[in-house]
Amino acid sequence: MIIMVILNAFTVKGYGEAEYWFAMIKVLTVIIFIIVGLLIDIGILGHVKIGFHNWKIDGAPFYQGISGIIASSIALAFAFGGTESISITAGECANPHRDVPRAMNGTIWRIILFFVGSIIIMGLVIPYNDPSLGHDGIKNAAVSLFTLVFVKSGLKPAVHIMNAVILTAILSAGNSCLYACTRMLYALANEEKAPKQFTYVNRRGIPIWCLIFTVLISTILFGLSFIGNKIIYRWLVNIVGVMGFIAWFGISLSHWRFRRAFILQGYSLNDLVYKSLFFPVGSIIASLLTCIFIFGQGYSAFTTHPFSFSNFLAAYITLPFFLIIFFVYKFVKKTRFIPLKEIDLVTNNIMFHQT
């Protein structure tokens, strides 16, 4: 935590420089991981040719079918969350018109290679019923999947190196989350959706009160995660995962409404520096999938006999909190749903204020 605070407390450049090196370590490691995994799969390492054998085990490759996919969606959201932070950094880019499209295009390929590629390698090399994985949730998971692949390779030094890389990845994730939370709280304060004290920025351009508050809450929650046999930790993972899906639903809906409003108000799509390739289908599919995952991720609570109220509560406790905050804000601030033709596309939009 101290390292992350130092990286975020002085300049944005410090955060960016740290993320550059963290990203380089992760990219090189994942590339090596994929290569090693392929060598294991074809039998060059580990001395056993696996091929697609682990995908032919009863129940594989999609264990428990659709319900299994939906049940694992929270872990997916927890791991995948953060890619949207590119839009947050746009406010502090020297040239957002150039840098943000580049970052977005790069993100697409990184997702395909590093997320999907790694998952395929894990599925090929590690059977879903491997005893090292544990089958009672987070509590009994014994080893990282990345580490387990290197264990199967027989490269013992690589196992320790992989564990060290995982620690840097955790540090990188925490660094990014601290940056994003600080800036989001600052943006909320500027929009009068959070206490005005959070609008304060020090001479280095850091919203320092936002940073202090975020660190305080993070430290408290981190301490609570050790209480009650990690039950609170699992609740926190669920809360973060569901909020991630809610955020992506909002992003998808906002994108769809922005594009519709842009056309209805007489602007040309050619004026946009970056255009989503799969609009509007992409936004619609993303909205539907997030809704399915939000409401379906607690499926296991209904299929457990006897009915597990604690699992049900862990799965859906985020929704009432979100809805209460949303409607209380709408009531107090007397805000309304803005028609597409009335949406303000000009204020604070750099595209309309270039000289």
Return per-residue pLDDT of the chain as tens, 355 residues: 787 888 788 777 777 788 788 888 888 888 888 999 999 999 888 778 888 888 888 877 787 777 777 777 777 776 776 666 666 666 666 677 777 777 777 777 777 777 888 889 988 998 888 877 765 444 444 567 888 888 888 877 877 888 888 888 888 888 888 888 898 899 889 988 888 999 999 888 889 999 999 999 988 888 877 776 667 777 887 888 888 888 889 989 999 999 999 999 988 888 887 788 788 899 999 999 888 888 887 777 777 677 777 778 878 888 898 999 889 988 888 888 889 998 888 776 666 655 4
Same domain, 198 and 245: no
**Domain total of the chain:** 2
Asked whether residue 189 falls in the same domain as residue 234, the answer is no
Q: Based on the fold, state whether residues 68 and 215 are members of the same structural domain.
A: yes
Residues 97 and 194 placed together within one structural domain of the fold: yes
15 CB neighbour count, 10 Å cutoff: 22
| CB atoms closer than 10 angstroms to residue 88 | 17
Q: What single string gives the DSSP state of each residue in 184-217?
A: HHHHHHHTTSS-GGGG---TTS--HHHHHHHHHH
Are residues 48 and 139 part of one domain?
Answer: yes
Using the 3D structure, point to which of 169, 196, 224 is the last residue of a domain.
Answer: 224
- CA separation for the pair 217, 35 (Å, rounded): 40
| Long-range contacts formed by 222-225: CB under 8 A, 24+ apart | 222/1
Q: Are residues 301 and 189 in the same domain?
A: no
The whole-model pTM stands at 0.76
Q: Are residues 98 and 153 in the same domain?
A: yes
C-alpha to C-alpha distance for 297 and 241, rounded to whole angstroms: 10
345, 261 Cβ separation under 8 angstroms:
yes
Domain residues for the domain of 181 are: 1-224
- 138 and 247 share one domain: no
Write out pLDDT tens, residues 247-280.
889 989 999 999 999 999 988 888 887 788 788 8
The distance between the two most distant Cα atoms of the chain, rounded to a whole number of Å, is 68
User: Are 70 and 16 contained in the same domain?
Assistant: yes
Tell me, yes or no, whether 186 and 242 share the same domain.
no
Amino acid identity, residue 288? L
Q: CA–CA separation, 66 vs 72, rounded Å?
A: 10
Are 217 and 272 within one domain? no
**Which of 224, 240, 273 is at the close of a domain?**
224
Q: How far apart are CA 77 and CA 225, in angstroms?
A: 19
CB 23 within 8 A of CB 114: no
Query: Of 224, 254, 288, which residue sits at a domain end?
Result: 224
279 Cβ contact list (under 8 Å, min separation 6): 255, 256, 259
Same-domain pairing of 175 and 42? yes
Q: Report the Cα 166 to chain-centroid distance in Å.
A: 17
